Amino acid sequence: MDNLNKPYLLSDDQIAFYKKNAFIKLKDVLDQTTLDHFNKAISEQVDKMRTSDKPLAERDTYGKAFLQLMNLWTVNEEVMKLVFSKRLAQIASQLMEVDGVRLYHDQALFKEAGGGITPWHADQYYWPLSTDRTITAWIPLQAVPLTMGPLEFSASSHKIQEGRELAISDQSEKMIQNKLRVTDFKHVIEAFDVGEVSFHSGWIFHRAGANTTDSMRKVFTIIYMDKNMKLKSPENEGQRNDWETWCPGAKIGEVINSPLNPVLFD
């Protein structure tokens, strides 16, 4: 718990880097002991919640990308300790330069051995949120070499409007990749060390490569939003589903203050 709640103070240069690029990778955010503990807790919970064992060859691109299970914190007290980490939530607040953050939801993203790519996309396509004050902590539960499919970023691509209307798919991979080819935005592909965590904004374009190893790539993510975030009228079915699933009872034009969206840092 000391590691989860001890402050991780950012430099002005790190905050400026995030402001410019809409992502940042930070070393030594969590220690080995903490990661080992949550690797075990999250892996056990994923095994309990997993409902399909369809072979990879029979799945679509999205299904091959990863096993995706959400809001583990609501059913597992150990996972809840990680989601409620003051250390992580404070980093999110500092990077977005807001007074505090609340939880949108968590998710386990386990890319199986032999799992396929995660296509180019921007997360906020799915979110019925009134501003871009959103950020995702991408927390590998082990080191992630290039062969395992680490998260890739197109630095500063949050400025691009084209592609924001695309759900994650083969189409988004092709169309966004073609768009990014003719821009000057740097494509960042780097391995993740043990304890390294990335943070990225809702509108930055990102993807991940295939997992060509014989091991599961285990990642846990926590999505934060400005504590004063308001619900907007959904613009697609994904946003309508997110409203009903992750913000139950929230009303359009009002601060999202449902039981599933507690303030994590203030």
pLDDT (tens digit per residue) in 142-174: 999 999 999 999 999 998 887 778 787 788 888
Encode pLDDT of 216-256 as tens digits.
Answer: 999 999 999 999 999 999 999 999 999 999 999 999 999 99
Q: Which two tokens stand for residue 51?
A: 């409902």
Q: How far apart are CA 161 and CA 94, in angstroms?
A: 26
Place of tokens 């189409």: 171
Q: Which residue has the tokens 């807001």?
A: 98
Please, are residues 87 and 5 in contact by the beta-carbon 8 Å criterion? yes
- What is the tens place of the pLDDT at every residue in 84-124? 999 999 999 999 999 999 999 999 999 999 999 999 999 99
208, HSE (Cβ side, Cα atoms, 13 Å): 28
How many other C-beta atoms can be found within 10 angstroms of the C-beta atom of residue 127? 26
Give me the domains of the chain, ranges plus CATH numbers. Answer: 2-247 (2.60.120.620)
According to DSSP, residue 6 is labeled: S
Cβ neighbours around 215 below 10 Å, total: 12
